[in-house]
Chain A
């Protein structure tokens, strides 16, 4: 089983987001990039599949602060190949139409049986990556998955619907899968293991093809929502705040 995992870096929401002078993009001065949370689940799911049924895991990402660390951590966790696309950076928040095209160009050479991506990222402005990539590759796609099993070339996935309902589906390989949650929580790796990987693992740099960037909407402006517009803020010592909340609950006839 040849498994490819695509990893996006996205703005870390722990940092306050600011909009730059053009008013159409995030200010990158203080922007910190972080691995897209569900991509971490996609990687974990790929490693679980490898551990259960053997195979190769190739991790593909693009440029951006922290991309190397993400790749080395993936190697230390058990990934076999690391590819970084040069010439396209997550700092510029490329659209998923663009990313799908540049990732597809690399994936075609790899001929994967399975391509795993996180089902979405919080900054997806033009749809999520998985379906767009699947169409580029001519592969089927199914997303919102919380489980993947492969056996004798048959791939069974668990698709989540609202309300806790799930559907077990069978998908023909090769396929692209959008992972919502891996079957086990992503594993922790001791830093010393990552440092070992930095010495032994190789990152293969590939020049991204000059991408066609159509498909995403043109941004006119970006703005932050008025926080607490509707909310009446309760302030004071904890016991005063608690007393106010109890009053509100009483007004609703609940106490």
Chain B
């Protein structure tokens, strides 16, 4: 087994996922302990430009037209071959739509241990410790990084994306693509997101609603507040699933990532899937009656007030103050 740490560079339609930067930052912590290198693994077609700016010691690139779009079967088979030949100490993926299934299948296929929902890695004495975040962010679990080649799936929150960036370009080593068999899963087409009337990624103020809003009619109250603030309304997954807002207004893992000046979270519990999409907001104000709600961990200001009582007060006061 080598001492190197591999990081799967997740990219979709020409953009590298932020979780890749976070994974690079975590990989650096492990590499410093093992004395190995941080190796970015780039699979795709004509995507070598994406490696620029990544804090890796080197990049392994496998370029093939067949790998141009993500294809589960083909990606998993290719990475399995690579792990077999390179035997890295650890391989890091994002716990995402793409990364989670690759990580799981590799662990199953190669018989490697898997540490999921990894939030933080740190060195402790001679060991590398990993802290996973489970139960909607309410519980953290610390374990030792298993002593063989290990697959890790990363969640955001513990390491800073900036630590995964670098000014220096890492050398790229191209590895020939293996012979691909007929994939059992084939991409047919992309379905573009519905174009909402508003682009929540461009708003300075976002009013976010979660399950705590309780009823559809209360959505209108939140909308009224958003308008009074000159911002927009967004939501966590349950609200979108109810059909109360279009999916273009979903924030989180399967929604949009937003970084407004103020993120006012109303009745949002703060499950990791949601936090992932809004943790970079400049100021987070959370309203939730549950004092143990994980949203308070990422919030700068919080209140346990009942949002349905608070909303009318807030609307009146904001209207009186006038949006600037």
Contact = CB atoms under 8 A, between A and B. Distances in A.
Q: Is there any pair of Cβ atoms, one from A and one from B, under 8 angstroms apart in the complex?
A: yes
Interface stretch (A51-59, A178-186, A187-195): A178-186
B14 interface: no
A26 B139 contact: yes
A180 B322 CA distance: 41
A252 B261 contact: yes
B96 interface: yes
B97 A162 contact: yes
Interface string B161-204: 00000000000000000000000111111111110000000001
Interface string B116-134: 1100000000000110101
Interface in A158-200: 158-172, 175, 178, 180-181, 185
Contacts of B297: 225-231
A72 to B, nearest CB: 25
Given A13-B135, A254-B324, A228 B318 contact: no
Given A143-B100, A254-B323, A245 B285 contact: yes
Interface string A223-250: 1111111111111001101111110111
A248 B285 contact: yes
A233 B304 contact: yes
A180 B132 CA distance: 21
Contact of A222 (B129, B140, B188, B303): B140
A203 B141 CA distance: 35
Contact of A132 (B107, B140, B254, B314): B107
Contact of A164 (B248, B285, B322): B248
B256 A164 contact: yes
Interface string B65-100: 000011011000000000000000000000011101
Contacts of A13: 135-136, 138
B189 to A, nearest CB: 5
B227 interface: no
A175 B184 contact: yes
A85 to B, nearest CB: 19
A160 B12 CA distance: 12
A116 to B, nearest CB: 15
A122 interface: yes
A94 interface: no
Contact of A255 (B97, B184, B323): B323
Contact of A216 (B114, B136, B309, B316): B114
B188 A136 contact: no
B139 A130 contact: no
A11 to B, nearest CB: 6
A123 B132 CA distance: 10
A246 B132 CA distance: 36
A136 to B, nearest CB: 6
Grouping DSSP codes into helix (H, G, I), strand (E, B) and loop, the A interface class, with mixed when no group exceeds half, is: mixed
B36 interface: no
A135 B283 contact: no
B184 to A, nearest CB: 4
A217 B130 contact: yes
Given A158-B191, A164-B256, A166-B191, A125 B132 contact: yes
Q: What is the predominant secondary structure among interface residues of chain B facing chain A?
A: mixed
Contact of A160 (B97, B144, B283, B317): B97
Interface residues of B, number: 102
Contacts of B13: 165
B46 interface: no
A214 B302 contact: no
Interface in B272-297: 282-283, 285-286, 291-294, 296-297
A120 interface: yes
Contact of B313 (A16, A130, A242): A242
Contact of A235 (B109, B303, B316, B317): B303
Contacts of A171: 184-186
B188 A255 contact: no
Interface string A9-47: 001010011010000001000000000000000000000
A236 to B, nearest CB: 9
Given A17-B138, A167-B190, A238-B310, A128 B116 contact: yes
A143 B153 CA distance: 15
Contacts of B113: 126, 214-217
Given A162-B254, A214-B113, 13 more contacts: A13-B135, A26-B139, A122-B134, A132-B105, A162-B96, A162-B256, A168-B187, A217-B130, A228-B291, A231-B297, A232-B301, A244-B301, A245-B303
6 contacts: A126-B115, A144-B97, A162-B257, A168-B188, A231-B301, A246-B314
